[in-house]
A = this chain, B = another copy of it.
């Protein structure tokens, strides 16, 4: 099935989905985005994603072109038209099309809204979680406001490519003082010797992940305490466990950092337990079911069960 994209009010075959070459996201990186997980045809943590989108737009002074209800309609329509059972939906808002000039257009233009959706192989994710992943570390040379979810992702692109070239799944950025900030597209976590979870405080130095925030809410009920603080690569190597979190990755155990084993060198019980807890959360997430008629439709895809 050919994929369908949304572009400024129209649903089009992806091959025909285009933006003008003077769209400011294309020439100036002047846009923001969200990626929302789709599970059983439902949007997971939609409200949190849309709230963050509002914050991103406000941070770079783009007026929200349509309200969150309207954006939610687009996201669900993309899921439906692309028949995504499990996967992701992507939404990008740009400042719009105007003759190239660094400053904002003097005559306000209509922001651009584009969206895509695609299926992901949940079984592959589960297999990866059973094996654990390798991380490489790279210097964090990104700009000072990575808390804003902008499309200026070239440093992340280069970091992820460095990871792949090294046979790893993700790269962790390490700041000039030796602290891990986050992954190229994920948040970074460790589990200390006394079973406390540690993840970097959500300042301007990381993107405050939606999955990270959901995990935060789960930790108390799951019997864990959390410290929001930075950690070093050395501390991560001596931790009981390490893992990453993101909407498309959920909780993914880290077993190697720069070729050295973390803890036992195999996925640990805390990461497994949190992954399972997130799966339960996603099964009861209060979102519209777009395929199956009605809210909270039962998810029957067995591939999403934690390993």
Residues of A participating in the B interface, judged by any CB pair closer than 8 Å:
5, 7, 14-15, 17-30, 33, 60-61, 90, 92, 99-100, 102-104, 114, 116, 118, 139, 141-145, 150-161, 163-164, 184-185
Contact = CB atoms under 8 A, between A and B. Distances in A.
Contact of A161 (B25, B103, B150): B103
A109 B99 CA distance: 28
B141 A144 contact: yes
A211 to B, nearest CB: 17
15 contacts: A18-B19, A18-B21, A19-B26, A25-B26, A26-B92, A29-B29, A30-B154, A30-B157, A100-B116, A102-B184, A142-B143, A142-B144, A143-B143, A144-B155, A150-B154
> In terms of DSSP, what is the predominant structure of the interface of chain A?
mixed
Nearest to A104: B161
Given A100-B116, A104-B157, 7 more contacts: A18-B20, A27-B92, A27-B153, A29-B153, A29-B154, A150-B154, A152-B154
A116 B21 contact: yes
Contacts of A150: 154
A285 B60 CA distance: 40
Given A100-B90, A156-B102, A164-B103, A20 B15 contact: yes
Given A20-B17, A23-B26, A184-B102, A155 B141 contact: no
A28 B90 CA distance: 13
A99 B88 CA distance: 12
A214 to B, nearest CB: 22
B29 A152 contact: yes
A22 B14 contact: yes
A10 to B, nearest CB: 12
A153 to B, nearest CB: 5
Contacts of A100: 90, 116
A99 B118 contact: yes
A252 B17 CA distance: 42
B114 A21 contact: yes
Nearest to A171: B102
**Which of A21, A100, A151 has the most chain B CB atoms inside 10 A of its CB?**
A21
Contacts of A29: 29, 151-154, 157
B22 A19 contact: no
A19 B97 CA distance: 13
Nearest to A164: B103
Contacts of A142: 143-144
A144 B139 contact: yes
Nearest to A115: B21
Contacts of A61: 161
A19 B152 CA distance: 17
A63 to B, nearest CB: 14
Contacts of A160: 102-103
